[in-house]
Amino acid sequence: MQITCGTDIIEIRRIKESIEDLGEKFLNRIYTQTEIEYCESKKGQKYQHYAARFAAKEAIFKAISKDIKDKYEIGWKDMEILNDEQGRPQVRIKEMQRENIDISISHCKDYAVAMVVMLVEK
Ligand SMILES: CC(C)(COP(=O)(O)OP(=O)(O)OC[C@H]1O[C@@H](n2cnc3c(N)ncnc32)[C@H](O)[C@@H]1OP(=O)(O)O)[C@@H](O)C(=O)NCCC(=O)NCCS
């Protein structure tokens, strides 16, 4: 097994513009229905949560480095960021054991960041 990590930072403005310009086409390409429902429940703050999930997925793409990409070929909607009852984010990636992935997310008015750590088979 091998530990791998990834991180990403994003301007919330960029995600807001994509959603405003492309609407559901953008949302349905990037986010699962559960993620959309979670972000929409945040009303005025929703772009922070959408941006955080975008950053989270970019961080996962980075963590899945080139040499292991073939094994875990994934697209945007093969990854899902869920929150437990305490609000802690959790990742579901197809075919990957949930206990082998941990993620942390933060966002403020202008930026969202995410970092992920994974344990993958070599
Ligand atoms: C939970 C807490 C860490 C969030 O910090 P914050 O500065 O308000 O917000 P940030 O922008 O940095 O982070 C927000 C993200 O933190 C994550 N988060 C929320 N609750 C969390 C928790 N209990 N543990 C880890 N991460 C958590 C979420 O991913 C959230 O983003 P999302 O809603 O888009 O998924 C903060 O509210 C806190 O410390 N609360 C006091 C302790 C507490 O209530 N803990 C929860 C019960 S143990």
Give me the pLDDT at residue 40, please. 97
Give me the pLDDT at residue 82, please. 95
Q: Sign of the C-alpha dihedral, residues 65, 72, 116, 102?
A: negative
Q: What is the CATH number of the domain that holds 48?
A: 3.90.470.20
Q: For 92-97, what is the mean pLDDT?
A: 81
The pLDDT tens digits of the residues spanning 34-81 come to 999 999 999 999 999 999 999 999 999 999 876 566 666 789 999 999
pLDDT > 70: percent of the chain: 93
The pLDDT tens digits of the residues spanning 101-110 come to 999 999 999 9
Kindly state if the Cβ of 80 falls inside 6 Å of ligand 1: no
CA distance 47 to 109: 9
Indicate the number of domains in the chain.
1
Which range marks the domain in which residue 21 is found? 2-120
User: Ligand 1 center to residue 87 CA distance, Å?
Assistant: 6
Kindly state if the Cβ of 87 falls inside 6 Å of ligand 1: yes
